[in-house]
Amino acid sequence: MPTKSQPKIKRSFQTAKGMRDILPEDQAYWEKIRKVIRNLTRTYGFKRIDTPILEDKDLFVKGIGAYTDIVEKEMYTLRTKGGEKLALRPEFTPAIMRAYLENGLSSLPHPVMLYSLGPIFRYERAQKGRYRQSYQANFEIIGENDPILDAKLIQLFFSISKEIGLKEIITQINSIGCSRCRPAYRRKVVSFYRSRKKQLCVDCQRRLQQNPLRLLDCKESKCMQIAAQAPQTIDYLCEDCNGHFKNVLEYLDELEIPYILNPYLVRGLDYYTKTVFEFWPEEEEGRQIALGGGGRYDNLIKLLGGKDTPSVGFAMGLDRMINLMKAREIKVASKNRPLIFLVQLGELSKKRSLGLFEELRRAGLETASSFSRDTIKSQLRIANKRQARLALILGQKEALDETIIIRDMVSGSQEVVPLAKVVKEVKKRLKNN
């Protein structure tokens, strides 16, 4: 026997795990931080570059390191119909270096200073401050090995933080050496951990064979206790790396930028050399997730097929900066111009209002309206909720007479003025108030 058709089940769609919507009430924070970044990068001499969200997967495997967590666990990868292996951008630096080489930016006067704003994608455990689609600002200085540039980037982060109201930030900083002195340190680390292998987490047991410096970066409590006793990188620096690091610290002292030496800070990416640093809130409860970090990567461009080109850069997590602003209850002041609300009634008034709306906008007056509402009362109610300073009322009579009513939404007083003079009259009233 035929069965009764099953009732259709309505599906409620939600954002994918680790993703989220940035709602209108949060946009003021985003607009604030983007504006500060735009202004300061212009002052510091950076030029903006935008790279694709999708890149060749091997760019990140080669640039970041095959045995890093990003490549092994966190990259979103796909194969196109044509067989290409692509990855959603997990970070900016390799992509920017690819653009630098591909587009001939190496022919520009150096240093080349570039910055980017946009999303990155990493498959990781979703929690507050960690999203699978997050947003970063990224800053690169390409073509110089002067330690003053390392300090300049750290200074830029503190300038941005101060402009958005974030203080009580501290830098953790270290030097991980170069290709000349790091091999000796690497051997010391391997020797130290070999006798402690059974005490390590599963990932670190594997890292001991593949990428031993990553052992110092593990966040498992038992591994962190072991790492606290491991050899320190700064004890094995060559003369050049030691001098470079010393100069960076002296510049930070001169700038009065707060920092602490963290001899076990290595960062999680293979391309780093010499200086590495991270930015953290000073308060204890804010020390779960870094606000940003970076360092020097003098070998990356050569690794990607270019000439030997020293470079330094850092990224900051915009989501994390905004979350900290909210946690510290930093207010984002609205600097909107006084709002004008255009009220209309009747078909002729609606037609006239469309042209008037554009005229007010071109005059630099922030204007709102509700063309779909049919009563003046309902439109004035909306104007009041929007905290409009003035309401311009255009009814059938006013449309025929070529006049308009200017209503002060604070005092309630109103006046009829010629329609041709409305922009001049509105500006005069706003100026007087």
Query: What is the β-pairing status of strands 47-48 and 112-121?
Result: parallel
User: pLDDT tens per residue, the chain (433 residues)?
Assistant: 555 556 666 778 998 888 899 998 899 999 999 999 999 999 999 999 999 999 999 999 998 887 788 888 899 999 999 999 999 999 999 999 999 999 999 999 999 999 999 999 999 877 777 899 999 999 999 999 999 999 999 999 999 999 999 999 999 999 999 989 988 988 998 888 888 888 888 888 888 888 888 888 787 888 888 888 888 888 999 999 999 999 999 999 999 999 999 988 888 677 889 999 999 998 765 556 899 999 999 999 999 999 999 999 999 999 999 999 999 999 887 656 668 898 888 888 888 888 888 898 889 888 888 877 678 888 888 888 888 899 999 888 888 999 999 999 888 899 999 999 999 989 988 887 7
CA separation for the pair 353, 357 (Å, rounded): 6
392-428 pLDDT, tens digit per residue, is: 998 888 889 999 999 998 888 999 999 999 999 899 8
**Cβ contact 287:315 at 8 Å:** no
CA separation for the pair 115, 137 (Å, rounded): 7
**Cβ contact 37:115 at 8 Å:** yes
| Best CA proximity match to 101, nearest among 411, 309, 393 | 309
Phi, psi of 375 (to 5 degrees): -115, 145
> Is the bond preceding residue 7 a cis peptide, omega within 30 degrees?
no
107-161 pLDDT, tens digit per residue, is: 999 999 999 999 999 998 777 778 999 999 999 999 999 999 999 999 999 999 9
Res 334: pLDDT: 60
Which two structure tokens, joined as six digits, stand for 298? 């003098």
Cα of 420 vs its chain's centroid, Å: 46
CA separation for the pair 194, 197 (Å, rounded): 5
Res 136: pLDDT: 96
**Hey, what's the torsion of the CAs at 107, 109, 110, 111, to 10 degrees?**
-120
**Cβ contact 199:222 at 8 Å:** yes
Res 53: pLDDT: 97
Res 134: pLDDT: 93
| Best CA proximity match to 213, nearest among 239, 241, 184 | 184
Res 285: pLDDT: 57
Distances (CA, A) of 196 to 193, 207, 229, 347: 5, 13, 11, 83
Query: What is the β-pairing status of strands 390-394 and 340-344?
Result: parallel
Domains, the chain: 24-181+237-327 (3.30.930.10), 340-428 (3.40.50.800)
Res 347: pLDDT: 83
SS3 374: coil
